[in-house]
């Protein structure tokens, strides 16, 4: 379990289930609500020099576009930005991102739902205390979409390699 900078574990997690299963909890510096990380998630992170403390919105927009373009080149078409920080397809979440800003530094990270274990998500996460409008109150299972369900290629195992190649071909800086 990874908690966002401002996450409230008692509101966002089923603490009884987390404790019973001895699930490790950690906190990230970036924002957003709690997430379950399992082997079906792919994390893409980038750290960039960025003078001062401004420029977050522009950098966020540029990095989100970079991620969407990389996904398209890797065989996942029609991904859009939804809400503040999500990547969506067919009205469902396929990824979430966060950003952390320090003087002279910007850290951006996206968690892609390649083949998430939705049973774990439903077991450990409560319905989030805040949600983007496009979620429309849906449960985790109704709201999240596995990228393996929509990939053009049957080679889901090669997805990470294809995505890495496409992102490195056009780095964000």
Residue 32 to residue 58: CA distance in whole angstroms: 18
What pLDDT, on the 0 to 100 scale, is given for residue 173? 67
Residue 73 to residue 12: CA distance in whole angstroms: 35
The pLDDT mean for the chain works out to 93
Residue ranges and CATH numbers for the domains of the chain are 2-169 (3.30.930.10)
pTM: 0.93
DSSP string, 62-101: HHHHHHHHHHHHTT----EEETTTEEEETTEEEEEEEEEE
What pLDDT, on the 0 to 100 scale, is given for residue 154? 63
pLDDT in tens, 61-96: 999 999 999 999 998 999 999 998 999 999 999 999
Q: What is the pLDDT along the chain (173 residues), one digit of tens a residue?
A: 999 999 999 999 999 999 999 999 999 999 999 999 999 999 999 999 988 778 888 899 999 999 999 999 998 999 999 998 999 999 999 999 999 999 999 999 999 999 999 999 999 999 999 999 999 999 999 999 999 998 866 666 789 999 999 999 988 86
Residue 141 to residue 119: CA distance in whole angstroms: 8
């Amino acid at each position: 379990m990874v908690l966002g900078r401002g996450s409230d574990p008692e509101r966002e997690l089923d603490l009884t289930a987390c404790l019973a299963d001895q699930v490790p909890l950690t906190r990230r510096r970036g924002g957003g609500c709690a997430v379950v990380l399992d082997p079906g998630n792919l994390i893409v992170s980038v750290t960039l020099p960025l003078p001062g403390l401004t420029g977050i919105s522009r950098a966020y927009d540029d990095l989100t576009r970079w991620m969407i373009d990389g996904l398209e080149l890797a065989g996942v078409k029609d991904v859009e930005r939804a809400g503040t920080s999500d990547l969506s397809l067919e009205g469902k979440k396929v990824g979430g991102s966060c950003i952390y800003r320090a003087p002279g530094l910007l850290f951006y990270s996206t968690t892609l739902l390649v083949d998430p274990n939705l049973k774990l998500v439903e077991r450990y996460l409560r319905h989030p205390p805040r949600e983007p409008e496009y979620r429309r109150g849906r449960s985790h299972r109704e709201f999240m979409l596995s990228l393996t369900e929509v990939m053009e290629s049957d080679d889901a195992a090669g997805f990470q390699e294809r995505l890495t190649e496409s992102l490195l071909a056009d780095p964000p800086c």
